[in-house]
Every structure is written in C-alpha cells, then in structure tokens.
Amino acid sequence: MTSRRAAAVSVAVLAAGLWASGTSAQSSLYIYPKGGQSKELMSKDKGECNQWAIEQTGFDPARPDAPIAPPPQQTGPDGSAVRGAAKGAALGAIGGAIAGDAGKGAAVGAGVGGAAGVLGKRGQERQNQQQYQQAQANQQAQRQAHQGEWSRAYTVCLEGRNYTVK
C-alpha cells in the first residue's frame, strides 16, 4: 500500500471514529418496554444497565479515551544537513584526492551530503506522521470494539428486564 493511500485510509478511519465517538451509544438504540414499565422505571433500568455494562466491559461510552498526542514538531535545525555535509565532504575529499583535486571533491561531497541529510530528516518526519496516523486508527478501532462489547452487555441487561432492544 502506498504511503498516500495508507494516509488516506488512516484519515478516513479517524474521521469515522471521531463521528462515532461523538454519538451517544444509548441514543443509538431503540428500547421498548414490553412489560408496560413506567418512564421512571425505564430510566432507572437504563441507568443500572449502563453501570452494569461498564462493570462488565470496562468501557464507559460517556468517557472515551483521550486521543493519542501528535508527535512533537521540530522547530529548528537539527544538524542533519550539517552532519550529512561533513560526511559528504570527507568522502568527496577522498574521491577528489584520487582524481587529483581534493578541494573540489570535498565541495561536491558536502553539497550532496547536506542534501541527503535534509532528505533523511524529511523522510523521518513523514514516517513519524504515518506512525501517528496508524496509532490513531488503531486506537479508534479499539474504541469501536469496546463500544460493541458495551452495547451487547447493555442490551443483555435490558432484555433481562423485559425490554425489547434494537
């Protein structure tokens, strides 16, 4: 999978997850009192079943986990271009000395090495961003799985109290 496609999939999963986590699990279920329960009893039963489902699953849909913090952004130069230039200059000087002009070889090597250092830094930043997006997608998938477990437990509890739940 290409990095652009992986990023697009991660963003789509994250967006869907943010939408889903913003909706109340209880409000997405239809609950009907089969035994003629009063509104007061239904409210009490819903609260007790919510608490029971939380105890059974360890997941509270009213308090989803905090999102993963984004990776820190580097604001200043990190020296990768300088290190790359130094390595390139050293290699260029050796190559230039063999060809008869160590100074020219060092200059060319420094330029190439400096550019390689900058590209290496950009590649690392891109990789960090992809890892962050993947972590967000994984966390959202876990939330959805926990939400499903909680919903099943909540439904079992209400059905046990003579409600139809869909």
Spell out the domain ranges in the chain. Answer: 3-65+78-165
Burial pattern 17-37, b for ≥16 Cβ within 10 A else e, equals beeebeeebbeeeebebeeeb
Give the whole-angstrom CA distance, residue 87 versus residue 111: 10
Q: What is the percent of the chain with per-residue pLDDT over 70, rounded to a whole number? A: 49
Taking the C-alpha atoms of residue 158 and residue 165, their distance in angstroms, rounded to an integer, is: 7
Mind listing the pLDDT tens digit for each residue in 38-76?
Answer: 999 999 999 999 999 999 998 898 886 634 334 445 555
Model confidence, pTM: 0.48
In this prediction, residue 7 carries a pLDDT of 46
Average pLDDT over residues 13-35: 62
pLDDT band at 145 (very low <50, low <70, confident <90, very high): confident
